[in-house]
Structure 1
Amino acid sequence: MDSTSHRHPQVSNRFLQPEQLAAPQAGRAWSLTEVFAEGQWQSVRVQLEARGWNALQIEQIHDQLRQGWPLALAENNLAVLSGHCPIKARRLH
């Protein structure tokens, strides 16, 4: 075996590097192809807007989706944390 493989093992592509997990920098947009259990992010965002969430609330929900929360729980968490929810908060099924 090559002795260099012992000193510098190959990096796995299985896990994201810490810099890939970091939140976006100001002015850096997230990929338009982000997909969550509830669907593509752009579609989810449109649904949230239709339910009356404002831009700041939508970004906070987006952050929770990135952390692995289901959409329904992310919406509930935000409503509890912010103390209010949008006027049209009924779930669309």
Structure 2
Amino acid sequence: MEPITAGLLEERARQLAEPLNGRADQDPDFARALDIWRRRAGAEAGTRTGAGDVRNEISSGTVHGAVVQEPWSPCVGPVTSDTAAPLP
């Protein structure tokens, strides 16, 4: 399974948006409906603070076991590491 990265998500969003935008260019009613949907989706997404990139760093020691980030939120995709050794 390919790791889910911000770049991959952005590319998939562009791929999904292309046919929607193409139809909106051809159909004014669809364009209005799409605009309403985008506004609602943006409002429901809440406040955004940036591109969504997150960097968590453990600066000392070796971790054996789970690392829990507070406040807890579920991870989307695999967690990667800058270490040379593979993670289990």
TM-score range, shorter chain: under 0.3
For normalisation by structure 2, the TM-score amounts to 0.22
Name the one with the larger strand percent. 1
For normalisation by structure 1, the TM-score amounts to 0.21
